[in-house]
Structures are given as C-alpha cells and as structure tokens.
Amino acid sequence: MDYKQAGVDIDAGNEVVRRIRSMARGTFTPGVLSEIGSFGGLFRLSAAGISDPVLVASADGVGTKLRLAFLTGIHRTIGIDLVNHCVNDILVQGAQPLFFLDYLATGRLDPDVAVQVVEGLSTACRANGCALLGGETAEMPGFYADGEYDVAGFIVGAVARDRLIDGRAIKPGDALIGVPSSGLHTNGYSLARRIVFDVAGLRVDSYVAELGTTVGAALLEPHRSYLPLIYPILPSGLIKGMAHITGGGITDNLPRILPRGTAARIDRSAWRVPAVFEWLQRTGSVPDDEMLRTFNMGIGLIIACSPDSAETLSEELARAGEPQATQIGRIVAGSNRVEYAGV
C-alpha cells in the first residue's frame, strides 16, 4: 500500500501549488522577501513605512457559510469572505494589512476547488493591498466527508503606535455612525440555513421574489471590506473607536470597544434593515433580540466619534463611496451594554 491508496494524493497537492503560485505572487508587495513554497514566509516590516509600528494580528474562519459553497459549487467567494473578515478585524484598531496566510483542510483534495478558494483569497488580498504570503493545504482522509473542507485565515497588519485606535477616548455624548453591510457577511449561517432549508424547505437555486434572487446567491454575497472607506479617513483623527459587527451582532460586538462606565443607545429606526434579514426573521419567526445577537442586521461596522464630528465623518464616508453611512445612536452613561430604542 502507498500514501495515495491511504487517501493522500501528494501529486494533487503539488498540482495545486503549481496552479496557485502565480495567483499568490500577484499579491506580493515590496515587503515580501520569500517565494511561495518556502517553509516560512518572509516580510520586511520597514517596507510598510510606519514609524514606531505596532503589529496587529487576527485569525478567523467563515463558519458554516461553507455549506452554501458545498451546495452551490461556488468556492471563489469563500476566499474573499475570509480575507475581508480578517482585514476588518484589524482595521478597527487602525491597522493596515501587511500579509495573509491561509489553512485549507479537506478529506480528499480537489485541485479545482482549492484553486477556486485561493483565487478568491488572492483577489481580495490584491484589493486590500495585502500579500498572500503563504499557507497550508492539508489532505486528511477519513476526517472530512467527500466534497467538504474547512478554511481559516491569519492576518498581520501594522499601525503607528500614536495612531492606534482602542476606544479609550469614547465618552457619553459621542455619536455612533453605522456603515452598511453587504449581507450576512460570515455570521449567523447555522440559523439562516435552518430557516431556509428546514423551515422554508427551499433549495439553493430557489428564487425568492422578496430578495430578487435565489437564496444561494443572497446568502453567498461576499463579506465586505471596509478598508477602502476607512483607511483614508484615519489620519483625520475623527475616529475614536470602531466595532466590526460579526458573530454576536451589534449586541455583543459594540460593547467590546466601550470604556468602563459607558453604554450604547442604538436607534433601530435610523436605518433600513435589508430585505434578507426581514425575510429570515419572518420565515423563521425569530424574536427581535435573537436577530440582533445573531446577524449584523445591515450594519457591518460602527464608528464612534465626537458629536461635532458626526456630520463631517458621514460626508467623508460619502465621498469615499458610502452615502448610506448614517448616525444610528450615541454613547450614554451605563454598564458596558447596548440599549435599543425606536423599535
């Protein structure tokens, strides 16, 4: 018996590396000193041009959104989701992304699927000015079902120490600006899938008039990167803190940036909840508080700023291409929680 008979095809792995090498190399920035295939990726920090740099790192996955990729056969958007999620996680502390690493594990390696995933990774890395420095593809027969895989990402960015955003300057009276999401992003898919497939009895190719598309297309809408909008505004000093609205929704994510003795009061009538969330809530009979802790409800990023800066910040975001960013609440005295009004 050989390794291939045991379920691991080394030649398939080498084929994947051969096919993705040019895609990854196309993301390289001046700081990259290594080639794809090295044991470790090399990056020259001085190339970032940041004085007194602080490294900011994060790791994440895309959760059960992968199930939609398995059902539709569309895997490219998964790579985009993964990179953009990680970029946003370090952006909220003021960091620019430097490099990204991925880990893809599967039961039986399908080179075409792996290449689709990496194509999405490389596309998003180029769009965010981030080098796809390396990664790992693990073939684990008997551990994952045929046709299934998991993927995770690890990102490193940097910010000048005096420009680090940590929310400590936030105080009662400050404004909260909500920036729209592009859909579910990468959270809430276990509940969404239960509603779509078990409660509604739909398939990924089922067309829903209220959504104007199939459920598969609606749920696979890629996670948005906020870097192009936010990074040009950071030098202005208008931003006191930012929260990336991921798992836990506004309810659990916004308190992560609130100093002791403060709370957030959110006006739910301040923005229009996208149709996909309204449809999921009605179809699944999901309570309001559960929706707000599971989904982003159409707000993917929340920015805290002084009340005098709110209008200016909204205008800056509009000039950067997001006219729908609007004030959705304010900071009040309280015990590190989110209060909702305007239901």
Give pLDDT tens digits for 121-140. 999 999 999 999 999 999 99
Residue whose token pair is 């105080």: 171
The verdict on 88 and 179 lying in the same domain is no
Q: Which of 11-20, 50-59, 239-248, 294-303 has the lowest mean pLDDT?
A: 11-20
Residue 328 belongs to a domain: yes
| pLDDT tens, position by position, 32-49 | 999 887 889 999 999 999
Query: What percentage of the chain's residues is helix, strand, coil (to nearest 5)?
Result: 40, 25, 35
Model confidence at 6: pLDDT above 70: no
The verdict on 134 and 191 lying in the same domain is no
The verdict on 22 and 142 lying in the same domain is yes
The verdict on 55 and 99 lying in the same domain is yes
The verdict on 17 and 110 lying in the same domain is yes
Instruction: Quickly state the pLDDT bin for 5 (edges 50, 70, 90).
Output: low
The verdict on 68 and 98 lying in the same domain is yes
Residue 214 belongs to a domain: yes
| pLDDT tens, position by position, 191-250 | 999 999 999 999 999 999 999 999 999 999 999 999 999 999 999 999 999 999 999 999
Residue 1 belongs to a domain: no
Residue 2 belongs to a domain: no
Distance CA 100, CA 93 (A): 17
Burial state string for 267-279 with b = 16 or more CB within 10 A and e = fewer than 16:
bbeebeebebbbb
Task: Give Cα separations from 114 to 22, 78, 144, 238, 301 (angstroms).
Answer: 14, 11, 15, 41, 30
Number of other residues whose CB lies within 10 A of the CB of residue 306: 18
Distance CA 146, CA 319 (A): 47
Domain extent, residue 106, equals 10-163
**CA neighbor of 225 nearest in space, from 102, 120, 304:** 120
Domain boundary among 133, 163, 193: 163
Instruction: Quickly state the pLDDT bin for 19 (edges 50, 70, 90).
Output: confident
Domain boundary among 120, 139, 163: 163
43 in helix, strand or coil?
Answer: strand
Q: Which two tokens stand for residue 141?
A: 């027969």
Q: Looking at the 3D structure of the chain, how many domains does it have?
A: 2
Domain boundary among 163, 188, 223: 163
pLDDT given at position 14: 79
pLDDT given at position 18: 80
Q: Are 176 and 253 in contact (CB under 8 A)?
A: no
Model confidence at 105: pLDDT above 80: yes
The verdict on 78 and 116 lying in the same domain is yes
- CA triplet 261, 58, 156: central angle to 5 degrees? 120
Q: Domain holding 318: CATH number?
A: 3.90.650.10
Distance CA 306, CA 26 (A): 41
The verdict on 208 and 332 lying in the same domain is yes
Q: Which two tokens stand for residue 304?
A: 């805290």
Q: Which two tokens stand for residue 93?
A: 């502390």
